[in-house]
């Protein structure tokens, strides 16, 4: 009994300590003095708060600067006023917890004037510029680029020599150069040197300043600013080229995933599989179902969806091959019609189960956002991961085809089916496994596409024609040709789209492939062996 009482006392003490810690900010005497203080007394109080609490006081300063800081008349504790769905609510300034049962009669606004606003802006800048985190300091400098004044520049100058982080120091140097370039009180040589430094920056604020300086009264300033803008434009064009190239590689990676399975089945079995797009669709819907089953583990769901989509689409491919394709061997036109009918059946099946409406698949947090290289170039993470994933799948498939018995049999059947059958290779088993492997890879492509677009019954139809173009252009059954063709068509399409538009770009690519096939019917990398004849 005594041990139970002692345990309860300890828990009560810990609870009391946590409550006191949470309310410590509101118990600060300077916060109480701020409530109802006169304008002349507020600056010393805010100075003391900034000195004592440092970065922790920023929420209060931001709320006060926005004119949303109030105090409760009963106990003079501070609250912020917020608008939520048209209703006015009051929350704790520091932890954003809702303070219930408060009306406008219970609170009073802490008013600010222009002098106090200027002080708050400088105080916020000083606190952020001296923050512990380099990212906070860098962000603070970049926010100040468009609103530099004498006090801010003086503060940056005092901190510049002490700064140890290269990115923060570079941002500070840019701010100082912008101030020097725009200041008419400084000498002409200093302004010209500052403009020259700005020519190496891609920041939008720097370019806006240089554009303004091209209208300066001094011809030397105008000439220097114009030259700096030309240098910036040249660098921006180079990065724009890299950006277009990245989007071309991204489209190429999607085409690679969508067509690599088709290249296997078309090359080994000679089957024109019009249901290949529906294998992609099944993989995308598998991702959607997995996320429905793992709503609290979206970040990990994709690792479950990849093997699940491979199995679902692969088993469906084996089922199609066993029930339909094997009875139509050697009759490509009939397989085309049969697989086209299967594609319609699968589309209608999905519509009956999931409805015709598109389904949204959530992107894991680690795939969201972008990798910002500089102000004009940023690479989206989901496309970057899909590019790496496509290459990983490609090389894994190459290893399977070259280092496993299945791969040996597949290569044997693709080169000479009759001879392989005479040597004891079970061609029916190879056909089924090949069709399942190609369909499974198409399912994996569906997982990747679900991270780029909505999932719907017609998802696969958008990529079936492109997949056939990639396979034919690269060379039927040749994996290297599929890789080269996918990235070539992706890059060409993305470089044509800005000038011709998406539709005309697709038409130009199609016309090019038709003309190319007229000249070289076997594609970039023709298949070798007796079957190639």
pLDDT of 3 higher than 60: no
The predicted structure's pLDDT at residue 30: 65
pLDDT of 116 higher than 60: yes
CA distance 507 to 161: 58
pLDDT of 234 higher than 90: yes
Structure tokens at 456: 């719907």
Q: Determine, yes or no, domain membership for 6.
A: no
Structure tokens at 282: 């099944």
Which of 464, 488, 506 terminates a domain? The answer is 464
pLDDT of 249 higher than 70: yes
Structure tokens at 65: 């600067």
Nearest Cα to Cα of residue 191 among 211, 207, 172, 176: 176
pLDDT digits (tens, 9 = 90+) for 320-361: 988 988 888 778 788 888 999 999 999 999 999 998 888 888
* Strand blocks (E) in 37-127: 69-72, 78-84, 87-92, 107-109
In the chain, count of helices (H) and strands (E)?
Answer: 21, 6
Query: Residues with Cβ < 8 Å from 51, sequence gap 6 or more?
Result: none
Nearest Cα to Cα of residue 28 among 45, 7, 4, 11: 45
The predicted structure's pLDDT at residue 528: 59
Query: Residues with Cβ < 8 Å from 291, sequence gap 6 or more?
Result: 298, 301, 305, 361, 362
The predicted structure's pLDDT at residue 7: 42
pLDDT of 144 higher than 60: yes
Domain shared by 447 and 316, yes or no? yes
Q: How many domains does the chain have?
A: 2
**Containing structural domain, residue 91:** 33-129
* Residue spans of alpha helices (H) in 294-355: 298-323, 332-354
Output the average pLDDT for the chain. 84
Distances (CA, A) of 244 to 186, 202, 498: 42, 18, 10
Nearest Cα to Cα of residue 450 among 336, 384, 361: 361
**Are the C-beta atoms of residues 436 and 275 closer than 8 Å to each other?**
no
Torsional class of 101: left (φ above 0), alpha (ψ -120 to 50), beta (otherwise): left
Which of 129, 155, 190 terminates a domain? The answer is 129
Cβ-based neighbour number of residue 161 at 10 Å:
8
Q: Determine, yes or no, domain membership for 319.
A: yes
Q: Comparing 234 with 114, which gets the higher pLDDT?
A: 234
CA distance 533 to 527: 9
Domain shared by 318 and 450, yes or no? yes
Q: Determine, yes or no, domain membership for 195.
A: no
pLDDT of 227 higher than 90: yes
Percentage of residues in the chain having pLDDT higher than 90: 26
Query: Read out DSSP for 443-487?
Result: HHHHHHHHTTS-B-TTTTHHHHHHHHHHHHHH-TT-HHHHHHHHH
Q: Determine, yes or no, domain membership for 87.
A: yes
Q: Determine, yes or no, domain membership for 214.
A: no
Domain shared by 113 and 250, yes or no? no
**427 three-class SS:** helix
CB neighbour class for 158 (10 Å; exposed up to 12, middle 13-18, buried from 19)? exposed
Domain shared by 124 and 253, yes or no? no
pLDDT of 408 higher than 80: yes
Which of 464, 484, 503 terminates a domain? The answer is 464
The predicted structure's pLDDT at residue 5: 47
Tell me which of 63-72, 419-428, 494-503 is least confident.
419-428
The 3-state DSSP composition of the chain as helix, strand, coil percent (nearest 5) reads 70, 5, 20
Average pLDDT over every residue of 529-533:
49
Q: Determine, yes or no, domain membership for 152.
A: no
Q: Determine, yes or no, domain membership for 349.
A: yes
**Biggest alpha carbon–alpha carbon distance for the chain:** 101
Cα dihedral 267→268→273→276 (10° resolution): -80
Vertex 475: Cα angle to 339 and 385 (nearest 5)? 80
Sequence length of the chain is 533
> Do the bridges between strand 370-374 and strand 107-109 make them parallel or antiparallel, or are there none, so unpaired?
unpaired
Task: Check residue 424 and report its DSSP letter.
Answer: T
pLDDT of 287 higher than 50: yes
The predicted structure's pLDDT at residue 384: 93
Distances (CA, A) of 294 to 21, 303, 448: 36, 11, 18
CA distance 77 to 185: 47
pLDDT bucket at 527, cuts 50 / 70 / 90? low
Max mean pLDDT among 27-36, 125-134, 189-198 falls in: 189-198
Domain shared by 125 and 250, yes or no? no
> Do the bridges between strand 370-374 and strand 69-72 make them parallel or antiparallel, or are there none, so unpaired?
unpaired
CA distance 485 to 525: 10
Domain shared by 122 and 250, yes or no? no
Q: Determine, yes or no, domain membership for 324.
A: yes
Average pLDDT over every residue of 388-404:
90
pLDDT digits (tens, 9 = 90+) for 15-63: 343 333 334 344 456 677 777 778 778 888 888 877 777 778 888 888 8
């Amino acid at each position: 009994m005594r041990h139970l009482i002692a345990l309860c006392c300890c828990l009560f003490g810990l609870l009391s300590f946590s409550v006191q810690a949470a309310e410590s900010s509101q118990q600060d005497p300077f916060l109480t003095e701020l409530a109802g203080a006169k304008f002349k007394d507020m600056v010393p109080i805010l100075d003391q708060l900034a000195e004592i609490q440092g970065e922790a006081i920023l929420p209060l300063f931001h709320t006060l600067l926005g004119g949303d800081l109030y105090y409760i008349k009963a106990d003079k504790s501070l609250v912020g006023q917020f608008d939520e769905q048209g209703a006015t609510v009051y929350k704790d300034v520091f932890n954003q917890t809702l303070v219930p049962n408060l009306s406008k009669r219970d609170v009073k606004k802490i008013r600010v004037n222009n002098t106090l606003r200027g002080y708050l802006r400088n105080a916020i800048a000083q606190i952020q510029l001296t923050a512990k985190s380099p990212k906070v300091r860098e962000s603070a400098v970049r926010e100040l680029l468009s609103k530099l004044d004498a006090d801010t520049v003086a503060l940056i100058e005092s901190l510049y020599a002490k700064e140890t982080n290269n990115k923060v120091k570079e941002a500070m140097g840019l701010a100082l150069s912008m101030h020097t370039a725009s200041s008419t009180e400084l000498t002409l040589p200093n302004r010209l040197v500052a403009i020259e430094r700005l020519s190496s920056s891609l920041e939008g604020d720097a370019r806006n300043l240089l554009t303004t300086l091209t209208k300066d009264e001094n011809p030397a300033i105008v000439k220097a600013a114009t030259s700096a803008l030309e240098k910036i434009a040249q660098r921006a064009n180079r990065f724009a080229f890299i950006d277009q190239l990245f989007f071309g590689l991204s489209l190429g990676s999607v085409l690679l995933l969508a067509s690599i399975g088709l290249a296997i089945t078309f090359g080994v079995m000679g089957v024109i599989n019009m249901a290949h797009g529906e294998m992609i669709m099944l993989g995308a819907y598998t991702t959607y179902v997995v996320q429905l089953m793992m709503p609290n583990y979206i970040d990990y769901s994709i690792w479950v969806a990849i093997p699940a989509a491979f199995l679902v689409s692969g088993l469906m491919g084996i089922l199609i091959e066993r029930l339909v394709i094997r009875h139509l061997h050697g009759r490509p036109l009939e397989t085309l019609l049969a697989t086209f009918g299967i594609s319609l059946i699968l589309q209608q099946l999905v519509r009956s189960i999931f409805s015709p409406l598109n389904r949204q698949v959530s992107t894991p947090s680690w795939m969201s956002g972008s990798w910002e290289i500089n102000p004009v170039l940023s690479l989206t993470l989901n496309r970057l991961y899909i590019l790496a994933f496509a290459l990983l799948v490609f090389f894994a498939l190459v290893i399977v085809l070259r280092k496993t018995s299945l791969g040996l049999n597949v290569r044997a059947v693709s080169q000479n089916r009759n001879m392989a059958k005479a040597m004891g290779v079970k061609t029916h088993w190879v056909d089924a496994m090949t069709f399942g492997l190609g369909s499974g890879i198409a399912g994996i492509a569906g997982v990747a596409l679900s991270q780029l677009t909505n999932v719907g019954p017609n998802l696969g139809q958008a990529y079936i024609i492109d997949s056939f173009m990639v396979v034919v252009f690269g060379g039927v059954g040749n994996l290297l040709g599929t890789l080269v063709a996918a990235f070539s068509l992706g890059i060409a399409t993305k470089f044509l789209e800005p000038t011709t538009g998406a539709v005309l770009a697709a038409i130009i690519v199609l016309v090019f492939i038709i003309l190319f096939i007229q000249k070289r019917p076997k594609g970039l990398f023709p298949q070798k062996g007796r079957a190639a004849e």
